[in-house]
Amino acid sequence: MTSNDDQANRLPFSLKDIEIVGAAPEQPGHGRRLFVLFSETATERDVLKTFAEKTLQQDGGALSLAWVRETKERDSLQHDGLADDLGGTENLLIVPVGVAWKPKSQQQQSWRQIMGWTHLIGSDFRQRRVLKTRPERCAIVFGEAATLGELRLRHGRHAADDTGTAPGNTNAFADYVALQAALTIERDARAVTGETIKYPRFVTRALWGRKTFQAQLERVAAENGRPIAEVREEARRCLKELVPNSRAPHISAAWAFSRAVCRLGYEDKLCYDKQKVAEIRRMALTRPLALVFTHKTHIDGVAIMLATRDESFPLVHMIGGENMAFAGVGYLMRRAGAVFIRRSIDSPVYKIVMRQYLSYLMEKRFPVSWALEGTRSRNGKLMPPRFGILKYVVEAAAKENMRDLTIVPVSIYYDLIAELSDYATEQTGAKKRKESLAWMADYLRSLRKPLGRISFGFGEPVVVDTTKPEISGAIAAEDESFSVHLQKLAFEASVSANAVTPITPSSLFTLILTGASPRALTEKEINRRILALRDWAMARSLPVTEEIAKLDVPRIRMVAGAMIEMGVISRYDGGPEPVYGVAPGKHFEASYYRNTAIHFFVTKAIAELALAKAAAAKTEALSVFWAEAAALRDLFKFEFFYPPLDQFNADIEVELRRYDPDWASKIQGADAMTLLASMGPLVSHAVLRPFAEAYSIVADVLLDARMITDATDKQGVVEAALKYGQQAFLQRRITGEESIGKLMFENAFNLAANRNLIAGDDASLKKARQTFRDMLDDLTNRLRAVADIASSKPSTQTVTEPPVYSNGSADHPGATTTH
């Protein structure tokens, strides 16, 4: 063994310069202790060796040492002679000891400082240089100790060794002790580094040692006639592909990078209800938690990362597609907890690994997060949810009999969005640009403009008891009823997310301008209409932003200025007074902002159109009204989320009663049009006209054999509709270019297929398609009629009682605002 003098000459440090964190615990009655010395590099091993030699001289014969080191293979630990040392009595005290490296500063670290800390971890060369120049950045950490008996008890509960043998195997127990020592050092080193976030380490090794994991691999091998060694090798590859290698410096680096990205165009402060977030954090610490968010832009994930980091959540594991794991950003985010999954999963081994990994994260109380829609919304509305990740999460929770899996819907919304021009291009049929470093550079450049604030709304949590027979039984039997449960969960989460997505100034501004298009509006007209919509929303206690609650004429001008700067709207000053309209070629961008809050207006819009239908009825006008409301609900079922039919009808009644308590008698008495005219502000022409016109374009395409050769070819029908839509716009058969869009045409095709209008007997099919087209013609005519009524009189709210807001006052309180 090397003498202390020789060691001091060889290493560029002195123990007196190195901080000792914690104290070496004493064994009662001066019993034996075993120091398990954990190191990642040769430098760390030398530091611990110097410390151990000094401790041995002072301790006498009651202390022994065992070495554990991390190898180059990820999550792999090598221990020298540890198995022999674990043959002692049950009261042998096992003490983990390791090395931690401090960042240069724990306050307001620069990007350069964070990256320097990142490069220091695992780098033998850099660590030696720091020991020579700044030895105080190195610390020796004593981890929490445990007796040999306690560790044996824990190990016996769930461990299997590397080959799946019984937990009594000596090497398997030594592996377990080595892993626990490494994990303890990682956890207790946070007191040194200042990195307070909880994150998982050595996940692959922990998963591999699980009995259930090994048993499932053996079952797959038996069912598929494959050698178990081959199946295990595939599982190792899947683990390497899926499981992030998270480290504290990389988490800090990813956080700094995310903050820098958001600061390019958005205000530094994220806006959310801190009390609500604190409540969700408490849930994250005590139960399995999933944050499912609405997907508007590429920075949704980093926004979640920043918000949860600021509020000291355990590390949130963001689940996304492998397309985002490109060089550079993918490398950093993987080490900060991002989980990149395959787009298509057909390997049973991959599915097992995915479920086991998700169950591990939830069991250890690490929240998972993903986009509810599975892709970014290209039109501003909440897209239909996808069930893939939700399915794996629920299955993983069921495997561990979790009773309180908690799914929290998160609505992320932005004052302005930089990607809308890309979305508009895609809606013309162009392909999405592939993600890469070059794409990333262009995207970051697009953020270099004032974009306002990033805000969050948190919906009511959806709690899932996966032990219920209707869930656990359906999973075990691989029954189709499980899909029904998933759909209900996803629908409930979607409705909850919509309910907390607030109305913003930009959504009201664009609602008014797209509804008036192609007309431009004066400032007075805009002020009158936007304030009427504001009053309508607040009278119903709908969620609105703080700016909406405080909206006045000067603030409306500020909103107009911001949207003019973004190029979404235009202002013409050449006449006697300025007028505003949607900027040429920007109807899609304007409709995107409108659609972010459109769901709040759909019920009223349907009621308006049903009234217009009832007004034309010669008999049974009230029955016609309810039949048309149900028909419109069904017509747009691929566009919007609705409550159950009974609740939907009740909501219509409540809305009409606000304008006239005797509304039903008015309709039955052939006075429906008068009731409709009193329902200002009218919104159906602004809310539903683009969808009705888009559907009518597809109906024309299906009727005209010159435009398509195969009506069953969805892509062909959509492409034909994109071309014909341009002609229809030039002929002014549709109001605006916003009615030309790939997503709306796809939904129109889905509706036609749902109504058996795609394939069948030629004669009956043509008649059914013509009936469908005539129905849409009638609808678009009613929409024009409503638009004429809206433009011919002031848009004021004429309710029978003054609006009473959530604080009991007739003044706008801001109590239902989102900050």
pLDDT digits (tens, 9 = 90+) for 399-450: 888 889 999 999 999 988 888 888 888 887 788 888 788 888 888 898 998 8
d(CA 632, CA 614): 13
- Only one residue has tokens 């509305």, namely 381
Q: How confident is the model at residue 317 (pLDDT cuts 50, 70, 90)?
A: very high
- The pLDDT value recorded for residue 630 is 97
Is 80 exceeded by the pLDDT of residue 390?
Answer: yes
Residue 779 pLDDT = 97
User: 3-class SS at 528?
Assistant: helix
Of 200-204, 684-688, 734-738, highest mean pLDDT: 684-688
For 783-801, write each residue's pLDDT tens digit.
999 999 998 755 443 333 3
For residue 119, what pLDDT is reported?
65
Percent of the chain with pLDDT over 90: 48
- The whole-number pLDDT of residue 10 equals 55
For the cut 90, the answer to whether the pLDDT of residue 638 exceeds it is yes
Determine the Cα–Cα distance for residues 107 and 76; give it in Å rounded to an integer. Answer: 33
Highest mean pLDDT: which range of 18-27, 108-117, 190-199, 617-626: 617-626
**Roughly what angle, to the nearest 10 degrees, separates helices 645-659 and 602-615?**
70
Question: What pLDDT, on a 0 to 100 scale, did the predictor assign at position 167?
Answer: 41
User: For residue 524, is pLDDT > 50?
Assistant: yes
Strand 817-818 and strand 544-545: the pairing is parallel
Q: In whole angstroms, how far apart are CA 383 and each of 331, 371, 374, 744? A: 29, 10, 9, 11
What's residue 551's pLDDT?
A: 87
Statement: residue 268 has pLDDT above 60: yes
Asked if residue 270 lies in contact with residue 306, where contact means CB atoms within 8 angstroms, the answer is: yes
Considering only residues 620 and 186, tell me which one the structure prediction assigns the higher pLDDT: 620
Alpha helices in 459-518 (DSSP H): 469-476, 481-499, 505-516
Here the tokens at position 81 are 């002679």
The confidence band for 236, taking pLDDT boundaries of 50, 70 and 90, is very high
Q: Which two tokens stand for residue 785?
A: 């009629």
Question: What are residue 266's DSSP bridge partners?
Answer: 452
**CB atoms < 10 A from the CB of 436, how many?**
14
Alpha carbons 294 and 455: distance in angstroms, whole number = 12
Minimal CA–CA distance to 693: which of 652, 716, 719, 724? 724
Residue 321 reports pLDDT greater than 70: yes
Per-residue confidence (pLDDT) for residue 18, from 0 to 100: 85
Cα Rg of the chain (Å, integer)? 32
* Other residues' Cβ atoms within 10 Å of the Cβ of residue 274: 10
**Count of beta carbons in the 10 Å neighbourhood of residue 386:** 15
Alpha helix ranges (H) inside 169-244 = 170-188, 190-193, 203-208, 211-224, 228-242
Model pLDDT, residue 120: 75
Is pLDDT above 90 for 205? no
pLDDT at 109 exceeding the cut of 70? no
Q: What are the residues whose beta carbons fall under 8 Å from the beta carbon of 768, sequence distance 6 or more? A: 755, 756, 757, 760
User: What does the pLDDT average to over 650-656?
Assistant: 97
Distance CA 559, CA 535 (A): 18
More confident residue, 11 or 467: 467
pLDDT tens digits, one per residue of 7-34: 444 566 677 778 888 777 766 555 788 8
Of 118-122, 126-130, 536-540, which gets the smallest average pLDDT? 118-122
CA distance 67 to 46: 12
Per-residue pLDDT tens digits for 481-518:
888 888 889 999 999 999 999 999 999 999 999 999 88
Share of the chain above pLDDT 70, in %: 89
Average pLDDT of every residue of the chain? 86
Question: Would you say 491 and 462 are in contact if contact means Cβ atoms under 8 Å apart?
Answer: no
Q: Read out DSSP for 716-761?
A: HHHHHHHHHHHHHHHTTSSS-GGG--HHHHHHHHHHHHHTT-SSS-
Other CB atoms closer than 10 Å to residue 141's CB: what's the count?
A: 24
Mean pLDDT of 462-469: 88
Is the pLDDT score of 814 beyond 70?
Answer: no
Residue with the two structure tokens 């699980």: 210
Task: Give me the mean pLDDT over the 130-156 stretch.
Answer: 88
The pLDDT, as a whole number, for residue 569 is 93
